Amino acid sequence: MPRSPAVCIALAAFLAPAFLAPALEAQFVRGLVVDSSGAPVPFAIVMLADSSRSVLTDSKGIFRIGDLARARYRVRVRQIGFRPAERDVEAGDSLVAVRDTLRLVRMAVMLETVTVGPTAACRQTGFASAGGEGVAELFEQLSLNAQRWVMIKAAGPDSIRYERNRSYLGPNGTLLGDKTDTISLPRMRSERYQPGAMLRQESSGHLVLIVPAIEDLADARFLGTHCFRYAAQEFVGGRSAHRIDFEPAADLTGVDVRGAAWLDVGSLLLLQVEYHVTGMDKPQRGVVTYNPVVKSTFVTGIDGAPRMATGTITQQVRKGTYQGKDVAVSIVRHRLLEKF
């Protein structure tokens, strides 16, 4: 028995989306990033031009950006120690094999003779290129290290285990005792560093210090309130490294930090960062944490991703008691137990 026209129209209307689905399906941009020898480049930053969309290549150098319309896209690739590369890539469906290869060329930073003289007051903030083009490239590589660290850290554990050692000192400076335990700290801080305003008051009334994180080295607020200078080439952890110093601007009042970052001479990968507190030379009334020194060291895993190998925080905590005895100062050290 033939179907009525109404039934046929309804059936056609129901099936139409199914026939149109392939044409409307989200498209993907994918490709392979290699070096000049053809070896995959893992954990490179790939972004779409004129867009904030960015991803990392995987351990095999492959990247994939989805939810796109069918079109050609300009893709830009950046990786620490390499020159940036760009290429137009055609978006395809999920069944299309990887067919676009972007080749990166390793960069060689040629430093001009850098004379380190007396440090003038910090007035020209950011990555000043007073040391020449080579120094400017080092500053750019430091920023790229911080940006890539943010993307890799986002996929890390929710909390990090530390070993905490506390040494208790009496009013006369004698050691009253030591205590060591294991604690877990949240990976994402509820409060972020603020230039010149590291000293905060908690709801309990205690004053605490919010120290910058690695990602702050690429943050506009940090760059706009600190001077960066090339310091020297020296050894750190048995490796030759470029040291870049930073300090707060002369007009930045309040509690802040100065410090240094070390980049490996060969790979330009971040090896170590240290922060030291400024603007609080003497203990302030009611301060709980005082004079912390934050030190982080990094290694590259077998998958090519950076890992924080050690993270130590040394700080002085005033007041308190230990086994019924008054404590004048206790020294607290946190040591990272897990690589992430």
Q: What pLDDT sits at residue 10?
A: 34
Q: How confident is the model at residue 323 (pLDDT cuts 50, 70, 90)?
A: confident
Domains of the chain with CATH codes? 5-103 (2.60.40.1120), 136-336 (no CATH)
Of the candidate ranges 16-20, 40-44, 116-120, 239-243, the one whose mean pLDDT is the lowest: 16-20
Mean pLDDT across the chain: 78
Average pLDDT for 137-149: 90
| Cα dihedral value 237, 241, 242, 247, nearest 10 | -10
**E strand segments, the chain:** 27-34, 45-48, 54-56, 62-68, 72-78, 85-90, 101-103, 159-169, 175-186, 199-201, 207-209, 226-236, 239-248, 256-264, 270-278, 289-300, 306-318, 321-322, 325-326, 329-336
The pTM of the full predicted model, rounded to 2 decimals, is 0.79
Q: 262 CB contacts (<8 Å, ≥6 apart)?
A: 234, 236, 241, 242, 243, 244, 270, 271, 272, 273
Of the candidate ranges 52-61, 127-136, 193-202, 293-302, the one whose mean pLDDT is the lowest: 127-136
Average pLDDT for 260-272: 92
Range with top average pLDDT, 47-56, 206-215, 263-272: 263-272
Q: How confident is the model at residue 216 (pLDDT cuts 50, 70, 90)?
A: confident
Q: How far apart are CA 135 and CA 113, in angstroms?
A: 10
Do 65 and 29 touch, CB atoms closer than 8 A? yes
Q: What pLDDT sits at residue 19?
A: 37
Q: What pLDDT sits at residue 171?
A: 82
Q: Which two tokens stand for residue 224?
A: 């706009």
Q: How far apart are CA 275 and CA 158, in angstroms?
A: 24
Q: What pLDDT sits at residue 295?
A: 82
Q: What pLDDT sits at residue 20?
A: 38
Do 312 and 333 touch, CB atoms closer than 8 A? yes
Q: How far apart are CA 131 and CA 229, in angstroms?
A: 8
Q: How far apart are CA 87 and CA 47, in angstroms?
A: 11
Residue, of 172 and 145, whose pLDDT is higher:
145
Nearest to 207 by CA among 314, 296, 315: 315
Q: What pLDDT sits at residue 226?
A: 92
Q: What pLDDT sits at residue 128?
A: 63
Of the candidate ranges 17-21, 149-153, 170-174, 273-277, the one whose mean pLDDT is the lowest: 17-21
Residue, of 278 and 19, whose pLDDT is higher:
278
